[in-house]
Structure 1
Amino acid sequence: MPAADTAPPLPASTALNEHDATFRRVAWRIVPCVTLIWFLAWVDRVNVGFAKLTMMSDLHWSDAVYGAGAGIFFIGYFLFEVPSNMLLQKIGARKTIMRITIGWGVICVAMAWVQTPGQFYFLRFLMGAFEAGLQPGVILYLTYWLPAHRRGKALSVFVSASAVSLMIGSPLAAYIMELAQGAFGMQGWQWLFIIEGIPSVLAGIAALFILTDLPSRAKWLSEREKAHIAAEMADEERQLGPREHSFLASLRSAKIWLLIGVFFCIIAGNATLVYYGPSLVKEVGFTDIKTLGWIMGGIYACGWGGMVLNGWLSDRRQETRLHTAAAAAIGAVGLLLAAWCVGEKNAAGLIVALALSSAGTMGAIPIFWQLPGQYLSGNAIAIGLAVINSVANLAGYFSPQLLGYLKTSTGRYTQGLAGIALVEMLGALLILGFIGTRATARRN
């Protein structure tokens, strides 16, 4: 009786091409959706920076009031981020992302009717509470679908949406405020919150139908494609070796607190750029809102370029530690130069300094998020990502408060900018001094 026919094994190059095709399909299904949502999150989170240009005088508020309101967003973020990621594990990513996106969209619209500092603080707190969990939730979600050597570019594209939102959102906000000024008896800053909040509600509804929680549940993948994903994820587990699975045990590790400290330093620089960038440019003489919008768009375009370029370099060299540290150092140098330029009223120098800081600071963020997965897995990484992000984002509370207080008390931004530049440089030094090299999972 003749032996049964057996299919010969696929050549390694053919198998790799099949895997590449599978993960391209996964990326095109997931990454555009979560990237759009992160884009809208940042539009709604930081549009208050442009609203400030006229809202403050309309409502007779000081820089200290604005700094407190801008920063209190991160208190809500801090309190609700870990519960959000824990809920994601129970109900799935798509329902969690829907809940988050609709919630902050509604709050953004409600911001149009604030009249008192108390109302401002309350709604900013609620916006932070609703948005809490989105970034670490998506980062966790991507670990279900993409191994580390394929995740760097996806993370860079996703996280770079924050820079794209600033790049596009800055001139857009300026035009909305100017063109809608006085329509139906409302101010331009009020229309800014309304017009930019509604798309988030719609995107949250769409996420429920586009996203799938796990590869095993994806009806749009064949069984062979699901096997490709499972094989690469299993291979990555073997290569990374033993990692901490218990979250409570991971809290006893100095590495987790070191990662929190590093990201705190990076976020201090980033929050300064997004909440005070327009005010710094206005300080050196650009008072026309549309002109200011285009300048900030160009500055944030450099941030987007830094994210994409650093992500590409990190993936190409399969290295994360030095790429994160170098980018943070560049961001710190840019802020230090900005402190000098704003004091000297050097408009051209300030724009260059902010562009440099934007490229470095924003370029560090997506690469940083590759570091926790080298030390954590399982339940530890699910909650650990949220803890790192929520605690470190308290820098977003302190840095606007510091700048607002110093501007109100001294009339200058110089001291605050220099101080935050030193904080961000500390983050780079912490990486170089205390985070060791560890192999990134490679494809065979």
Structure 2
Amino acid sequence: MTAETLSTAQSRVELLDDVLYRKVNWRIIPLFIICFLFAYLDRVNISFAKLQMQSDLGFSDTVYGLGASLFFVGYFLFEVPSNILLHKIGARVWIARIMVSWGIASACMMFVSDEFWFYTLRFLIGVMEAGFVPGVLYYFTQWYPGNRRGRVNAYFKSSICLCGIVGGPLAGFILGHFDGMYGMAGWKWLFLLEGLPSIVLGVVVLWLLSDKIEDASWLTADEKRVLLERMASEPKPDSSSRFSDIWKHPVTYVMSAIYLCLVMALTGLLFWMPQLIKSAGVADTFDIGLLTMIPYLIAAVGNLLIGSSSDKRGERRWHMAGCASLTAGGYLLCAWFPGQLLPLMAGMSMILTGIIAWMPIFWTIPPRFLTGLAAAAGIALINSLGQLGGIIAPFMVGRIKDLTGSATPALYMLSAICVLATVLVIWGIPARYYQVKQ
């Protein structure tokens, strides 16, 4: 058989694979994108509720920052146990449970009347949501080979962009138009109306998902065989699949440190973005919501382009390092021009583009050295240790703002954290884990 014939046959196989994986994508990814959208709405709508809730309840910036952070305490404590249960019970049932319970907890935020219940419910939302993101990422490892996960993870993480595009105007609309309806403040309506859809989506997950390729009634026998062959051809990680294996790899701790920096960079902006825009002289809540769309729109495009580039080139290290550096530069820009809307918007766009494109590439690395139960628990461990950044950053920004009257010193600190992450990405992870089979 000639080289030209081999090349033609290979191209035909790749085309058929693309058609098959497109079918898989349409079944799985849109649903998870919508689920992640509401997960993030329920997680960060507190940043918009703050515009009314803080004055209604008399909370300081420190109280708000601590409440925002407590979500991540619950998330951290229950992340690994949640993913171990997901591995044993199955993704379909467990992810559905996560969504229903976090939707109920988030809607209950409308009943907050003092600091105690504010702290308690924020903690409970974190407990209920724990395991969702790493559970979905682990689920992808059961359906997609390594050379497709960068794009798939990018599609999934693009939900953060969708949250910003939809969430800001939606929150602004609810706060502005529902305030006072039936005697309820706008921020109470916000928690109620954004919590209920998660409960409905939990039922949809239970109905539509299949835990394994073999269980998918919507695939033909030949399609299942091809998918299983692609998964079987994956290079095997250089470890076994026991839970104890996650502690044996130094790279697990490096990955956790990188993700800690990433989450600090993300939450440092997410929970304070509306306030930064307000500090630039924008008073109307709906206008603030509309302006938060712009960085997310830019990040959505950047995320897909960078994720696709990483997969096509089979390169992870420098794509990740470039994203971390872009985030650092964005924080510097915001710090240099406080209270000036155009530089703030440019800086926030750089921050979100860097972070959101960084995440999906980052999550292609753990399956390179973990598999089976170790992969489920290891992804959860890295994610949960990283989520400590969500405890630190919002509280840090709020405390610094209370002490100094300005968020600028915190922005410089977040930029330095991104520089540290860049160093860890370049020198902290062995080159063999960046290799991608083409």
Same fold (TM > 0.5) = yes
TM-score category (smaller protein): over 0.9
Distance 2:436 2:207 in 1: 32
Match of 2:186 among 174, 188, 193: 188
SS at match of 1:242: coil
Match of 2:64 among 59, 63, 66: 66
Q: Shift in Å at residue 134 of structure 1? A: 0.5
Distance 1:432 1:244 in 2: 26
2:424 equivalent to 1:430: yes
Q: Shift in Å at residue 244 of structure 1? A: 4.6
2:146/2:436 contact within 8 Å kept: yes
2:236 equivalent to 1:212: no
Q: Shift in Å at residue 312 of structure 1? A: 1.1
Give CA-to-partner distance per residue, 1:248-296, whole Å, 9 cap, x none: 2331321110000011111110001110111111112111111111111
> Residue type matched to 1:151 in 2?
R
Distance 2:372 2:293 in 1: 39
2:282 equivalent to 1:286: yes
Alignment correspondent of 1:256: 252
2:246/2:377 contact within 8 Å kept: no
Q: Shift in Å at residue 18 of structure 1? A: 2.8
Distance 2:205 2:326 in 1: 36
Give CA-to-partner distance per residue, 1:228-248, whole Å, 9 cap, x none: 0111111113xx553353332
SS at match of 1:319: coil
Distance 2:130 2:152 in 1: 21
2:410 equivalent to 1:416: yes
2:96/2:202 contact within 8 Å kept: yes
Q: Shift in Å at residue 434 of structure 1? A: 1.8
SS at match of 1:393: helix
Alignment correspondent of 1:384: 378
2:303 equivalent to 1:313: no
SS at match of 1:394: helix
Alignment correspondent of 1:7: none
> Residue type matched to 2:259 in 1?
F
Give CA-to-partner distance per residue, 1:108-167, whole Å, 9 cap, x none: 111011000110111111111111101100000011111011222111011110121112
SS at match of 2:59: coil
Alignment correspondent of 1:173: 171
Distance 1:21 1:350 in 2: 42
Alignment correspondent of 1:5: none
2:252/2:382 contact within 8 Å kept: yes
Match of 2:369 among 372, 375, 383: 375
1:42/1:166 contact within 8 Å kept: no
Distance 1:326 1:12 in 2: 33
Distance 1:246 1:322 in 2: 31
Distance 1:350 1:14 in 2: 48
Alignment correspondent of 1:247: 243
Q: How many residues are treated as equivalent by the alignment?
A: 430
Q: Shift in Å at residue 441 of structure 1? A: 4.2
2:237/2:370 contact within 8 Å kept: no
2:142 equivalent to 1:147: no
Give CA-to-partner distance per residue, 1:165-187, whole Å, 9 cap, x none: 11210011001110101100011
> Residue type matched to 1:269 in 2?
A
1:39/1:165 contact within 8 Å kept: yes
2:328/2:416 contact within 8 Å kept: yes
2:315/2:435 contact within 8 Å kept: yes
1:321/1:371 contact within 8 Å kept: no
Q: Any stretches of 5+ residues in structure 2 without a counterpart? A: 1-7
Give CA-to-partner distance per residue, 1:386-410, whole Å, 9 cap, x none: 0000011110010011011111111
Alignment correspondent of 1:329: 325
1:50/1:173 contact within 8 Å kept: yes
Alignment correspondent of 1:267: 263
Distance 1:241 1:181 in 2: 54
Distance 1:117 1:378 in 2: 42
Q: Normalised by the size of structure 2, how large is the TM-score?
A: 0.95
> Residue type matched to 1:169 in 2?
G
Q: Shift in Å at residue 378 of structure 1? A: 2.0
CA spacing shift, 1:254–1:242, aligned 2, 3 Å: closer
> Residue type matched to 1:271 in 2?
T
Alignment correspondent of 1:406: 400
1:259/1:388 contact within 8 Å kept: yes
Q: Which aligned segments of 4 or more residues in structure 1 are displaced greater than 4 angstroms?
A: none
2:123 equivalent to 1:110: no
1:236/1:441 contact within 8 Å kept: no
Bigger Cα displacement from structure 2, 183-192 vs 296-305: 296-305
Identity rate, percent: 37
1:290-309 pair list within 5 angstroms:
290-309=286-305
Distance 1:64 1:232 in 2: 51
Distance 1:178 1:135 in 2: 31
SS at match of 1:146: coil
> Residue type matched to 1:263 in 2?
Y
1:244/1:250 contact within 8 Å kept: no
SS at match of 2:234: helix
Match of 2:344 among 350, 354, 357: 350
Alignment correspondent of 1:52: 50
1:332/1:361 contact within 8 Å kept: no
Alignment correspondent of 2:4: none
Q: Shift in Å at residue 346 of structure 1? A: 2.1
> Residue type matched to 2:120 in 1?
F
Give CA-to-partner distance per residue, 1:325-351, whole Å, 9 cap, x none: 110110111012111211xx3221111
> Residue type matched to 1:339 in 2?
A
Distance 1:136 1:431 in 2: 20
Q: Any stretches of 5+ residues in structure 1 without a counterpart? A: 1-9
Give CA-to-partner distance per residue, 1:164-219, whole Å, 9 cap, x none: 11121001100111010110001111111111111111011111001000001111
Distance 1:216 1:440 in 2: 29
Match of 2:76 among 75, 78, 83: 78
